[in-house]
């Protein structure tokens, strides 16, 4: 349930300020030369990313609500992600760091100045919330771009020593949860005041056969066994597309792993650390997850199975479902630091046994937070799908090409995710904070 206070202009203003300040922190410690990144298909120039977050508020809030003043001349030719091709962003005459920060500050001030009046209209409130969540997504992108480039960890969380004493518990979490077959309402339901993206609309009946799903995501230790068993070199474990990707990229282990005489290390931003055995494997793509499943005699859950394991409630005997669904795995109460590893409250992933307070009704742990989880499902619209305006390009251009991820990662904002939220990426992306859990065949 979304409480009325969460939609109050003052509460929304606090969230917008929080997102704005986080964006600034994500680049504040970087030298000017670090903002000029190499041309890589999974990153953007940092100054472009910064300007784009301001531009989104400018276009989808200020201009749609009647602002005539151009807060940055030529912004449309610089920051429109659907007219400026990715590779062209390196040759644009982007404003300097100071000019980019000034543009963002001017937009931010104008946004807050008009919020009280604009929020009296539900449509206007939708625009503000859309722009806020868009900035949250790019905040996470700043974090995984820093990881990809080997930059220092962003100063968003306590030190590793503080995290070690967080009291959430550690170690492995073995076993499967049994979920009875049922007709399940997949997707978001209207009317509770929650922000819903167009690809979540609306809940519809989906028949799901009984299944068994892992209580926890696949760990580094489990994935290392696959690597050490020559899993990357065994053609029979890979789909045709997966093997083509593996061969083209020479992949022999997860992207940030490094083998030494003492075992596996993992690059965590700019530091090599010993591989944490019971933390979830992260920065693996869909093809790698699929190959592991074939090696382990398991499979990826479908989107419906994943959401059912996170949302549904069983009857006391466990043989059926009550018909009630939860917004979050633990219930309808908003995420807290005790329930999920979100909001960069900790400096990365923790062991899969942590956060017992966030379990679903079936005993599945960390279905929100820690790592995004790949599903077997391709990203397609739900029945009756209608493109939301004004951001018509959010979902529709990507249907059929991408895979659905669920849950959220340690760097994901808690106000963005719920059980019905659908993330979507191409199956070859290894840079995002993604892992997976498995189902029994």
Give the confidence band of 7 by pLDDT, cuts at 50, 70, 90: low
Residues 107 and 174 in one domain: no
Instruction: Identify the H or E element spanning 268.
Output: strand 263-268
Instruction: Give the residue carrying structure tokens 């009280």.
Output: 116
Tens of pLDDT, residue by residue over 50-85, are 999 999 999 999 999 999 888 999 999 999 999 999
Instruction: Give the residue carrying structure tokens 């929304």.
Output: 12
Residue spans of alpha helices (H) in 297-440: 303-311
C-alpha dihedral sign at 352, 357, 363, 364:
negative
Parallel, antiparallel or unpaired: strands 257-260 and 263-268 = antiparallel
Instruction: Give the residue carrying structure tokens 């479908």.
Output: 302
Give the confidence band of 90 by pLDDT, cuts at 50, 70, 90: very high
Residues 121 and 268 in one domain: no
Q: 201, 187 in Cβ contact below 8 A?
A: yes
Residues 265 and 129 in one domain: no
Domain endpoint, select from 131, 149, 167? 149
pLDDT of 161 strictly over 70: no
Q: Cα 266–221–219 angle (5° rounding)?
A: 90
Which pair of tokens denotes residue 414?
């808690």
Please report whether residue 355 resides in a domain: yes
Instruction: Give the residue carrying structure tokens 């409130």.
Output: 125
Q: What integer pLDDT is reported at residue 364 of this predicted model?
A: 98
Give the confidence band of 254 by pLDDT, cuts at 50, 70, 90: very high
Cα 102 to chain centroid, rounded: 28
Range of the domain at 332: 157-178+211-301+327-441
Residues 285 and 426 in one domain: yes
Domain endpoint, select from 130, 149, 168? 149
Please report whether residue 194 resides in a domain: no
Q: What integer pLDDT is reported at residue 158 of this predicted model?
A: 60
pLDDT averaged over the chain? 94
Residues 52 and 173 in one domain: no
Instruction: Give the residue carrying structure tokens 């749609």.
Output: 64
Count of helices and strands (H, E) across the chain = 12, 15
d(CA 171, CA 219): 10
pLDDT of 426 strictly over 90: yes
Tens of pLDDT, residue by residue over 385-419, are 999 989 999 999 999 999 999 999 999 999 999 99
Mean pLDDT of 19-25: 98
- Number of folded domains that form the chain: 2
Please report whether residue 55 resides in a domain: yes
Q: 313, 326 in Cβ contact below 8 A?
A: yes
Residues 118 and 225 in one domain: no
Give the closest residue to 344 by CA, choosing from 285, 280, 283, 408. 408
SS3 track for 173-202: CCCEEEECCEEEEECCCCCCCCCCCHHHCC
Instruction: Give the residue carrying structure tokens 């939860």.
Output: 326
Tens of pLDDT, residue by residue over 271-311, are 999 999 999 999 999 999 999 999 999 999 999 999 999 99
Inter-CA distances, 198 with 46, 308, 329, 380, 423, Å: 28, 20, 22, 12, 12
pLDDT of 181 strictly over 90: yes
Please report whether residue 307 resides in a domain: no
pLDDT of 167 strictly over 70: no
Q: What is the pTM of this model?
A: 0.96
pLDDT-above-90 percentage for the chain: 90
* CATH of residue 21: 1.20.120.450
Please report whether residue 434 resides in a domain: yes
Please report whether residue 134 resides in a domain: yes
Q: What integer pLDDT is reported at residue 134 of this predicted model?
A: 98
Parallel, antiparallel or unpaired: strands 298-299 and 439-440 = antiparallel
Q: What integer pLDDT is reported at residue 70 of this predicted model?
A: 83
Residues 121 and 167 in one domain: no
Phi, psi dihedral angles at 131 (to 5 degrees) = -65, -35
Residues 81 and 218 in one domain: no
Residues 125 and 174 in one domain: no
Residues 276 and 424 in one domain: yes
Inter-CA distances, 69 with 59, 110, 112, 278, 371, Å: 11, 11, 16, 53, 41
Q: What integer pLDDT is reported at residue 348 of this predicted model?
A: 96
d(CA 90, CA 46): 10
pLDDT of 12 strictly over 50: yes
Please report whether residue 183 resides in a domain: no
Residues 50 and 168 in one domain: no
Give the three-class secondary structure for 284: coil
Residues 96 and 162 in one domain: no
Phi, psi dihedral angles at 404 (to 5 degrees) = -85, 135
Strands annotated E in 294-417: 298-299, 312-314, 321-325, 372-378, 403-406
Q: Cα 421–8–26 angle (5° rounding)?
A: 60
Give the confidence band of 266 by pLDDT, cuts at 50, 70, 90: very high
* CATH of residue 417: 3.90.1580.10
Please report whether residue 246 resides in a domain: yes
């Amino acid at each position: 349930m979304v409480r009325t206070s969460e939609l109050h202009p003052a509460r929304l203003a606090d969230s917008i300020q929080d997102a704005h300040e986080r964006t600034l922190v994500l680049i504040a410690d970087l030298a000017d030369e670090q903002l000029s990144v190499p041309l890589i298909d999974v990153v953007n120039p940092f100054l472009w990313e910064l300007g784009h977050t301001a531009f989104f508020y400018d276009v989808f809030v200020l201009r749609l609500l009647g602002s005539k003043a151009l807060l940055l001349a030529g912004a449309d030719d610089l920051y429109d992600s659907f007219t400026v091709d990715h590779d062209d962003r390196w040759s644009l005459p982007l404003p300097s760091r100071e000019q980019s920060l000034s543009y963002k500050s001017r937009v931010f001030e104008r946004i807050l100045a008009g919020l009280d009046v604009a929020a009296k209209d539900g449509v206007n409130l939708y625009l503000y919330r859309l722009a806020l969540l868009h900035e949250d997504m790019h905040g996470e992108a700043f974090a995984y771009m820093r990881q990809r480039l080997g930059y220092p960890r962003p100063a968003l969380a306590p030190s590793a020593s503080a995290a070690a004493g967080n009291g959430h518990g550690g170690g492995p979490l073995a076993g499967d949860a049994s979920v009875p077959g049922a007709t399940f309402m997949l997707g978001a339901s209207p009317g509770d005041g929650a922000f819903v993206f167009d690809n979540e609309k609306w809940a519809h009946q989906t028949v799901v056969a009984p299944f068994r799903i892992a209580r926890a995501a696949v760990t580094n230790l489990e994935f290392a066994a696959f690597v050490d068993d020559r899993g990357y070199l065994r053609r029979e474990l890979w789909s045709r597309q997966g093997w083509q990707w593996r061969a083209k990229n020479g992949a022999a282990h997860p992207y940030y792993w490094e083998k030494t005489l003492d075992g596996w290390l993992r690059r965590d931003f700019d530091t090599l650390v010993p591989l944490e055995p019971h933390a979830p494997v992260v920065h693996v793509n869909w093809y790698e997850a699929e190959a592991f499943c074939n090696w382990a005699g398991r499979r990826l859950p479908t989107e419906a199975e994943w959401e059912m394991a996170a949302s549904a409630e069983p009857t006391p005997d466990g043989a059926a479902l009550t018909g009630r669904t939860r917004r979050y795995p633990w219930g309808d109460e908003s995420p807290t630091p005790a329930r999920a590893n979100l909001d960069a409250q900790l400096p990365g992933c923790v062991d899969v046994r942590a956060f017992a307070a966030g379990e679903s009704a079936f005993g599945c742990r960390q279905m929100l937070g820690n790592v995004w989880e790949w599903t077997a499902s391709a990203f397609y619209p739900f029945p009756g799908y209608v493109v939301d305006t004004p951001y018509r390009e959010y979902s529709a251009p990507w249907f059929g090409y991408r895979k659905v991820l669920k849950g959220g990662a340690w760097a994901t904002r808690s106000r963005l995710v719920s059980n019905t939220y659908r993330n979507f990426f191409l199956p070859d992306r290894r840079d995002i904070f993604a892992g997976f859990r498995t189902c029994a065949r």
